[in-house]
A and B are shown apart, each in its own frame.
Chain A
């Protein structure tokens, strides 16, 4: 592995930990050592683009409330991005999809595919899966994405199943019925929990849930690790 690529990987790891500034620094180092490194350029461009998108909102917030923290007063500084797209912030994936630099769909897909590979290599299977789903939204028949989809799902399912334990075991509710309402569940998890009756095995619950194996495994693994069932 070249030194530039090592910086590149360090940047991805930093990004994975939520350390965006560190990621930016690593990718700048990679680009300085290898100006032709497309991946470093692409990631950096995404960060800058995301920062640009975030800037008007930050400026508006500043206008309303005044400076709130040190970096607000440093215009050249890249704002911290949220990892989770659900939280409404910007992530690398969104930035790649939205970036005006990526004029063609092929380029967007290629960049996303690389990101998915990187995340997969780092063991971030959920993150990789999230990127793959975005690629498939753009290009449903993308062969490599479909292969990664299967691989990510399979790996995640196996991981969750390792948390669940033997699938022929019969789980039982570990809480009193009145305590169940204090949990934080959505209606799908509520449905799966309702099927835990002391007669159905974990394997049966996969069949009863009507959800994908991955979703069911995720829900059941959470029940086990949170001590909701035993």
Chain B
């Protein structure tokens, strides 16, 4: 698939799965990965044999290799070491987390090496980029990436850095609910309050948007960061494991990681099937036993939709409670909501849809596939940013502040200076007074968040304004000014109104990686890049010729070894066939063919070396 202009991709970088999309011939569409699937698990691993895996393959060994399989990196991206979120994640993640060099950011230990979280996400993004390049047959260098609406500046910057490390110029970071609404509202001219009910693999997010033509204002967010489709899977897994134990004298398959890997995959498949059919069969032959003295055992089970609904009733109830609470906090009644958009694969479950219908008293919208909708919205936004004239709808997403910005005031409370969703660039001032008699200094703690308590918000930086005029409390006025540039750089200054003394700080959102570290990672990536085609082609050709020569010289010894061996009498025939093909490939000069043959020849050479070095045969 080729187009005249370089396509710009939209990426839904999810906690559990990621999706890449682009506008093709005027319509947004999801780009399948090279395995043909639309969803790519956001998982990175180093397998036990040392191979680096990303996506579906990484997922398929996640249970058998938990320490070296990094999933849910999104829970950690842009978070500070020691924060509540990181501590919560450490309790449930099977892989090791350590503090970064400065002690502030989080590093993930992969195959014994601590790496930054943006680097992990970059591996997933690079995979999606490669999938898009394979689809379009050309290099892709620009993208729009989505993040949850509640992500702060640091998390957004970390996501940008991940894109940069993956070789992508990130044109815009877009809120996921906004992106979903964009996909639904594309060409439909929505103008109402919209609830985005996003039940993904690992998290549940509910967002209330005020949509007015091209303006998408996130007015409330809620959710549960530890509730998602995987919790539903776990219920099915438990049912299968306990059912098996009941039928096989208490044999506990949870002790066997291989068995659990298979059961997890089968449970997810069965759960998905039950969204469309009333019963699903699980058939896992040789799940246990089969060794000396232990007969092979098979897991055979039937699950019904009713059983699934029974075992996950409380999970669905939690989603509804969180949604109702978010509505209440926004001061809205369900009847005031114009549209309810379902996002995330778990919303395919009929019971979830029924519960949403009961809460809102209306049918939720299902015009777009729930797993794809966020990426499609990002693709629409990407198109609008790069080819506004080609965009069918006037899509204008302004960069806004994602969280409230303010300072800590007396009593440990948080005072907002710039509310979230303020269009940037922006500046705002607020006058405060001293809280103690003859107070000589004041500490300005710059925070980001929505909690009334300063300690529950994120500290961006702090400074002290000294030399205040000596006066009783409330008499000294301090003017605090916030200034946000278009690049998201926040400048904060504090000035004693009477003396004119001033102190300031500049806060730049950081991902935990310094610019120097990013440059170093990029440089390392470049040095590992493949050699130019001509140079590597000549090297491959020379290596293949040398290998063929060595195989020919080893053949007499190998023939003798094989005569004495009870193994592999056809190995010589096979080797003859391979070397003949390799010589033909060399004669053809076809680089791809030479490369393909070189792999086989190399294996043959290694085999020959082993056989020839077998002592007595020579």
Chain B residues closer than 8 Å to A104, beta-carbon distance: none
Binds A, one of B288-296, B328-336, B408-416: B288-296
B47 and A121 contact, CB distance less than 8 A: no
Chain B residues closer than 8 Å to A121, beta-carbon distance: 614-617
B291 and A155 contact, CB distance less than 8 A: no
Q: Which among B47, B298, B603, B613 is the interface contact of A151 at CB below 8 angstroms?
A: B613
Answer whether residue B261 sits at the interface, using C-beta atoms and an 8 A cutoff.
Answer: yes
Answer whether residue B48 sits at the interface, using C-beta atoms and an 8 A cutoff.
Answer: yes
Q: Given the known A-B contacts A181-B298, A185-B290, A210-B48, are A168 and B604 also in contact in the complex, defined by CB atoms under 8 Å?
A: no
CB distance from B331 to the nearest CB of A (A): 50
- The B contact surface, by secondary structure, is mixed
Answer whether residue B611 sits at the interface, using C-beta atoms and an 8 A cutoff.
Answer: yes
Q: Given the known A-B contacts A86-B292, A187-B287, A210-B61, are A154 and B610 also in contact in the complex, defined by CB atoms under 8 Å?
A: yes
Binds B, one of A24-32, A133-141, A190-198: A190-198
Closest to B607 in A: A158
Chain A positions 207 through 221: 1 when the CB is less than 8 Å from some CB of chain B, otherwise 0: 110110100000000
CB distance from B223 to the nearest CB of A (A): 33
Answer whether residue A53 sits at the interface, using C-beta atoms and an 8 A cutoff.
Answer: no
- A88-122 interface with B by 8 A CB criterion: 117, 120-122
A190 and B571 contact, CB distance less than 8 A: no
CB distance from B269 to the nearest CB of A (A): 11
The CA-CA distance from A120 to B291 in the complex, in Å, is 27
A159 and B607 contact, CB distance less than 8 A: yes
B61 and A162 contact, CB distance less than 8 A: no
A207 and B567 contact, CB distance less than 8 A: no
Answer whether residue B564 sits at the interface, using C-beta atoms and an 8 A cutoff.
Answer: yes
Chain B residues closer than 8 Å to A76, beta-carbon distance: none
Answer whether residue A189 sits at the interface, using C-beta atoms and an 8 A cutoff.
Answer: yes
A199 and B35 contact, CB distance less than 8 A: yes
CB distance from A20 to the nearest CB of B (A): 18
Q: Which among A162, A183, A184, A191 is the interface contact of B574 at CB below 8 angstroms?
A: A162
Q: Given the known A-B contacts A123-B565, A208-B57, A210-B65, are A180 and B285 also in contact in the complex, defined by CB atoms under 8 Å?
A: yes
Q: Which among B36, B290, B603 is the interface contact of A187 at CB below 8 angstroms?
A: B290
Answer whether residue B85 sits at the interface, using C-beta atoms and an 8 A cutoff.
Answer: no
A151 and B36 contact, CB distance less than 8 A: no
Answer whether residue A166 sits at the interface, using C-beta atoms and an 8 A cutoff.
Answer: yes
The CA-CA distance from A217 to B209 in the complex, in Å, is 55
Indicate the size class of the contact surface on chain B: 35 or more
B286 and A162 contact, CB distance less than 8 A: no
Chain A residues bordering chain B, tally (CB within 8 A): 45
Answer whether residue A62 sits at the interface, using C-beta atoms and an 8 A cutoff.
Answer: no
Q: Which among B35, B567, B574, B606 is the interface contact of A123 at CB below 8 angstroms?
A: B567
The CA-CA distance from A191 to B291 in the complex, in Å, is 13
The CA-CA distance from A87 to B291 in the complex, in Å, is 13
The CA-CA distance from A162 to B64 in the complex, in Å, is 27
Answer whether residue A10 sits at the interface, using C-beta atoms and an 8 A cutoff.
Answer: no
A123 and B617 contact, CB distance less than 8 A: yes
The CA-CA distance from A227 to B589 in the complex, in Å, is 35
- A33-91 interface with B by 8 A CB criterion: 86
- A150-182 interface with B by 8 A CB criterion: 151, 154-155, 158-159, 161-163, 166-168, 177, 180-181
A195 and B287 contact, CB distance less than 8 A: no
Closest to B618 in A: A121
Answer whether residue B132 sits at the interface, using C-beta atoms and an 8 A cutoff.
Answer: no
A191 and B290 contact, CB distance less than 8 A: no
The CA-CA distance from A86 to B568 in the complex, in Å, is 24
Answer whether residue B86 sits at the interface, using C-beta atoms and an 8 A cutoff.
Answer: no
CB distance from A132 to the nearest CB of B (A): 14
Closest to B51 in A: A207
Answer whether residue B60 sits at the interface, using C-beta atoms and an 8 A cutoff.
Answer: yes
A158 and B290 contact, CB distance less than 8 A: no
B284 and A194 contact, CB distance less than 8 A: yes
Answer whether residue A142 sits at the interface, using C-beta atoms and an 8 A cutoff.
Answer: no
B262 and A189 contact, CB distance less than 8 A: no
- B108-142 interface with A by 8 A CB criterion: none
A208 and B47 contact, CB distance less than 8 A: yes
Chain A residues closer than 8 Å to B351, beta-carbon distance: none
The CA-CA distance from A151 to B615 in the complex, in Å, is 11
**Which of the listed residues A123, A195, A210 has the most CB atoms from chain B within 10 Å of its own CB?**
A123
Chain A residues closer than 8 Å to B11, beta-carbon distance: none
The CA-CA distance from A124 to B57 in the complex, in Å, is 35
Answer whether residue B49 sits at the interface, using C-beta atoms and an 8 A cutoff.
Answer: yes
Answer whether residue B600 sits at the interface, using C-beta atoms and an 8 A cutoff.
Answer: yes
Q: Given the known A-B contacts A122-B564, A208-B57, are A158 and B286 also in contact in the complex, defined by CB atoms under 8 Å?
A: no
Closest to B35 in A: A199
Q: Given the known A-B contacts A199-B36, A208-B61, are A168 and B290 also in contact in the complex, defined by CB atoms under 8 Å?
A: no
Binds A, one of B75-83, B154-162, B251-259, B547-555: B251-259
Chain B positions 267 through 308: 1 when the CB is less than 8 Å from some CB of chain A, otherwise 0: 000000000000000011111111110001110000000000
Chain A residues closer than 8 Å to B568, beta-carbon distance: 159, 162-163
A168 and B599 contact, CB distance less than 8 A: yes
Closest to B615 in A: A121
Closest to B47 in A: A207
Chain A residues closer than 8 Å to B64, beta-carbon distance: 210
Q: Given the known A-B contacts A158-B607, A189-B290, A190-B287, are A207 and B565 also in contact in the complex, defined by CB atoms under 8 Å?
A: no
Chain B residues closer than 8 Å to A203, beta-carbon distance: 51
Chain B residues closer than 8 Å to A162, beta-carbon distance: 568, 571, 574, 603-604, 607
Chain B residues closer than 8 Å to A180, beta-carbon distance: 285-286
Chain B residues closer than 8 Å to A188, beta-carbon distance: 258
Answer whether residue A200 sits at the interface, using C-beta atoms and an 8 A cutoff.
Answer: yes
Chain B positions 566 through 584: 1 when the CB is less than 8 Å from some CB of chain A, otherwise 0: 1110010010000000000
Answer whether residue B380 sits at the interface, using C-beta atoms and an 8 A cutoff.
Answer: no
Answer whether residue A7 sits at the interface, using C-beta atoms and an 8 A cutoff.
Answer: no
Chain B residues closer than 8 Å to A167, beta-carbon distance: 599, 603
The CA-CA distance from A159 to B48 in the complex, in Å, is 21
Chain B residues with a Cβ under 8 A of chain A: 35-36, 47-49, 51, 53, 56-57, 60-61, 64-65, 256-259, 261-262, 283-292, 296-298, 561-562, 564-568, 571, 574, 599-600, 603-604, 606-607, 610-611, 613-617
- In the complex, the 8 A-B pairs of residues with the closest C-beta atoms, listed nearest first: A190-B286, A121-B616, A186-B290, A123-B565, A207-B47, A158-B607, A210-B64, A155-B610
Chain A residues with a Cβ under 8 A of chain B: 9, 86, 117, 120-125, 151, 154-155, 158-159, 161-163, 166-168, 177, 180-181, 183-191, 193-195, 199-200, 203-204, 206-208, 210-211, 213
Q: Give 15 A-B contacts (CB < 8 Å), ordered by A residue.
A: A121-B616, A122-B565, A122-B616, A158-B606, A162-B568, A162-B603, A180-B286, A187-B288, A190-B296, A193-B286, A199-B35, A199-B36, A207-B51, A207-B53, A210-B64
**Beyond A163-B568, A181-B285: 12 further Cβ-contacts under 8 Å?**
A123-B564, A123-B614, A158-B606, A159-B607, A161-B607, A187-B256, A187-B291, A190-B286, A199-B36, A206-B47, A207-B49, A207-B51
